[in-house]
Structure formats: structure tokens, C-alpha cells
Amino acid sequence: MHADLSRLTHRPERHYSGVVAQQGRVQLDADANEQTAIQLFQARTLAADLIGRHGGPSDANGFKIDLKGSSGTLDDLIIGGGRYYVDGILLDATRPQPGEAVSAAGAAGEERSEQGEAGEHDAEAAAEPDAPPATWTYWDQPDGFRDPERPEDRLPSEFPYLAYLKVWERLVTAAEDPALREVALGSALPDTAARTKVVWQVLPLPGTALGLEGDNPPVSEIRKAFDTWAQQQSAPRSRLAARSERPDHADDDPCLVRPDARYRGPENQLYRVEVHDGGDAKTATFKWSRENGSVTFPVDELDGTWVELATLGGDDKLDLNVGDRVEFVDTAATSRGEALPLLRVEELDLPGRRVRLSDEPAGGAGRRPELHPYLRRWDHREGGARQTVRRGGRDGRLRHGALPVEEGGWLPLEDGVEVYFAAGGSYRTGDYWLIPARTATGSVEWPTDAARRPLLRHPAGIAVHFAPLAWVHGEQTVPDLRLAFRPLAADIPAADDAAVAAEEQARDEETYGETGEPGGLGTQGGPAAPPASRSQTTAAAEAAVDRADGAADGGPGEAGGVG
């Protein structure tokens, strides 16, 4: 989460069940966020334990997939409405319908002739837009942002392929959703709380990627092959460690912190190290921010390389300067998880709230104002006192504006903070680690072993979840791979348990008699059926009675029946 946080303290392995506020104490954002995280973890764990890895309610099961093909247009998938759970995370595919606007003819106090009213109604009917569809599709799903002009976004042209769900969470701030800002606080004050959003995307997976033979393998084999693929995609394959060492320039400002401090920054920070370009160590890059990547600037207008911003920041710590690296993104680029090139701030126009970037934004970002484009500042630079260069390593030149990953050695960030990438890692765009740095201790908060050696940790996110939906292998042939569960609630019985038990006992006595034999017959009447248990349901007791009657009458298959 690119939020302005002090730190994240939720640790599921510690088994905390709640946060207890104490009187007279300072209230921290970390405490409130941990309480939310605990409740969310408990709720999703419970849902996953009861439902399984994925499933939907039988009476409102969502994400039913139907193929909509046409010879003149691109293939499309219809996504049925309803709810579905993936690893305990609730998803809703119900498409909201727009409200009804007040018509111009509804103005009170106007006297219109019948002819005039008819003309107005005709004009309104002609001006009304077409009603939106009742369901989502592959091309217009809310967080998919699929582009028909991109061949990689189109559905596979060859069958079969699997339609599946990709689920993850991301942060939304007022820079992306202006409705989160309380305008009564004034434009000079910062925004308040941010939001986390569940993102779901219906995507295709070619059948060849699953290693299945034939066009229509059994459903059990499809699910098993997909589970194996999903585990490979979601398993973390990179590790990082962090530490603080006394930097070379520690004596430049001896009055700021203790002389023996290893972290020499003048303020508490939450460093974020995030993978930019994914891949192995040869191709992967990373970026870092001392503010958890939370410094953003909403874009009002884009004109080539000139960008007009809604604000240039609140102070000299949260503003833009020439040489800063920025990421130009919008809602579509963020939801797609794209790694767009990081741009350099070349020039500032303070009166006009404009900045000139080193290049035009890539990927179409900023061209659609409804997608709320914004700049995100990162704090690494190429050259200068704060350049990230491995000791004795390469010259640290940037690739696409980001720093190359170098494994097996400590990489300094700034003010004594260093990171270490473990060898043999495989990196995914968006994976990140958080490193709190504190002036009170002159160090960073990072787990260590008994010898005080930093421990290697997997990324804190992004956690991605998957679920299969349908196996598509032609028109009108879309086998459903979803799972369903029934509600636990049932009808209340007409009588209490004691009355039901008494009725079953009376029925047993009437059927077997005091001798325990069917119809009061002795051994000559056939084998005695066992008396019905009181725990049997009414249907089971009636079935036992029928079997006993059949035995007494010498029915087929009953030994010792009456001749």
C-alpha cells in the first residue's frame, strides 16, 4: 500500500486477536490499521475454512462465463452477476445500474399544452441513452481495462483455453478518487484516510500452459492442473534483507543524531523498496521511496512533456525538484500492474504549477482524465551523494529510470540504510518490502537472528489469488469450473425435539410391536427388522417400515419370507 504510514505492525504468526486502546496514550495509525488487519484476517480465514479455496452461494453464484463469438467482431465473454469467494475474499460481479435523472418535463408550475407535452416527451425519449447491459463482459469489466488494439489483450484465437479469476488488493487515495477528500477541510490541508480495494479480473489462460492433453479433459484434471499453475504464480520467489550501517558522511551533520547512530537520517521514515521491472537478476530493476511511495501529485492537464498539476506539494519534503524520478500512472495502468518507464523532472514552473518531464508518458497514461492520472515520486537518483551503487560494483546507471537489481551484496540507499537481495531470485513487478527507520534508536526495524544478523524476508505483497471459472473449447461449450455451497439455514420444525422423539417412538411401537418383530409376527413371519433408532429422521423411519413390511410379505430378495 502506497499510503502515508508510520509502519505496519500486523503479524499473523503472533496470534493477536485485537488492539486494546489505553487511556492517556497517543493514538497511532499503526494501531488502528492493525485492528482492521486482524479483523480482516480472521473473517477471511473463517470464510476460507468453511467455503474452501473458492466457491459461491448456490442461490447467487457469480462469474458464470459464456462465450460470445462473432465472425465480424472480436470474441467476448459474458460474466454473470453474483457473488464469489476466493481464499475468503468476497467478490461481487453484479453490475450496478444507473439511477433515473429528473426530466426537464418535471418542472413544477409550468403550463403546457397536450401537443407541447407530447413533443417534449418525444424529444426526451430520443435524447435518452441506451440502457447499459445487465452484466459485465471481458472487454468492459470494471478493473480489467482490456484494450482491443493490443493483441496480447485479446482472447486466444485457438481453443481450448481456461477463463480464470485473478484477485488482489490495492490502495486508492484522493489523488485517484477525489470523492475521498473532504472539501470542507479546504484545499490547503492534506487528505484524510485512504481505502483498500479488491480488484478482480477475468483473464484467459491457453490450455497449453496447463499441460493437458485433448480438448475436453475431465473437470477434475483441469482443476488439478490449474491449482498447480496458480501455486507457481503466487509463490514468492525473491528475498531481501535490510540493515543500517554508519554511513561515510556521518560526520557531516554531527548535531542531528547521536554520533554512534547507524541510521543518520534527520527524520523517522518508512522506506519502501519495490520491484519495477520483473524477471531474474539480469533484467529486474527496483525503485525506493523514503515515504512509502505516498508522495503523489494529481494531474490536471498533459501537453506533451509539460504536466499541469493540481498541487506541487505541501512543503519542501513532499514537493518536486529538478532531478526527481516520477512515475506517471493512472487507474488503468495501476490495475494492469504495468511497469511504465520512470521519468525525470527537467524543469519547474511554480506559478503555473507545471513541470516538464524528460519524455512523454508511455502506455497512454494521462490521455483520459476520467482515469485520474497522477505522478508518484520516487527518491532514488542517478549520481549524487544519495546514489544507490553497490560498493565495488557497477556504476549504477538506471534502466527505464529504475535501479538494476544486484544480488549477493549490500546496496546502500541513503543515510546508512542498506538492502541485500538474495541470490537466485525471480522478481515480479509490484512486489515490495517496508523498512521503518527510527532516529530514536539510530537504526532500522528488521528481524534478526540470535547473532543480530538480518533475516531474509519474502515480499510483503502483492498477494495475488486465483480461481478457475470455465473451460472454453468452442461455441456453446463452456464447462463450468466454479464451485457452490448451500446456505446453512433451514426451516424451523413444527414441534420441539421431545415431541418429534415421542412421535418416532410411537411409530416404532406400532410397527414392530412389543416383540420387536414386523407387524407383530414371530420368527415364522420372517426375519425381525431392527427397531428404528430415535435419532432417525422421519423419512428414514418410514423407509425402515417399508423394508420390514416387505420382509413380512416375503417380497423379492428377502430370505425366509412367507410363502
In the three-class reduction of DSSP (H, G, I as helix; E, B as strand; rest coil), residue 479 is classed as coil
Percent of the residues in the chain that have a pLDDT greater than 90, as a whole number: 61
- Label residue 112 by pLDDT band (50, 70, 90): low
CB count, 10 Å around CB of 559? 8
Pairing of strands 432-438, 269-275: antiparallel
Average pLDDT estimate for 531-538: 47
Residue of 182, 230, 202 whose CA lies nearest to 62: 202
Q: How far apart are CA 237 and CA 432, in angstroms?
A: 12
Q: Report in angstroms the alpha-carbon separations of 405 from 121, 251, 326, 426, 435.
A: 65, 29, 19, 11, 17
Grid cell at residue 142: 470494471
Residue recorded with cell 482524465:
369
pLDDT of residue 271: 97
555 compared with 82, residue with greater pLDDT: 82
Average pLDDT estimate for 55-72: 88
Residue 355 pLDDT > 80: yes
Residue 560 pLDDT > 50: no
Each residue's pLDDT tens digit, 300-320: 999 999 999 998 887 788 899
In the three-class reduction of DSSP (H, G, I as helix; E, B as strand; rest coil), residue 190 is classed as coil
Most confident of 115-124, 388-397, 420-429: 420-429
DSSP code of residue 179: G
Phi, psi of 92 (to 5 degrees): -130, 115
Mean pLDDT of the chain: 84
CB half-sphere exposure, 444, CA atoms < 13 A: 30
- Label residue 1 by pLDDT band (50, 70, 90): confident
Cis, peptide link before residue 462, omega less than 30° from 0: yes
Spatial neighbors of 327 by CB under 8 A, at least 6 apart, are 287, 340, 342, 343, 375, 376, 378
Q: How far apart are CA 518 and CA 526, in angstroms?
A: 8
Are 291 and 4 contacting, i.e. CB atoms less than 8 angstroms apart?
Answer: yes
Spatial neighbors of 218 by CB under 8 A, at least 6 apart, are none
pLDDT of residue 186: 83
DSSP code of residue 493: P
Each residue's pLDDT tens digit, 319-350: 999 999 999 999 999 999 989 999 999 999 99
pTM recorded for the entire structure: 0.81
Q: Maximum CA pair distance of the chain?
A: 112
Q: Report in angstroms the alpha-carbon separations of 476 from 75, 76, 363.
A: 13, 13, 35
Are 204 and 158 contacting, i.e. CB atoms less than 8 angstroms apart?
Answer: no
Burial class of residue 361, CB neighbours in 10 A (0-12, 13-18, 19+): buried
Cis, peptide link before residue 160, omega less than 30° from 0: yes
Domain boundaries in the chain?
52-96+131-236+465-485, 240-462
Q: Report in angstroms the alpha-carbon separations of 286 from 30, 190, 280, 425.
A: 26, 28, 12, 13
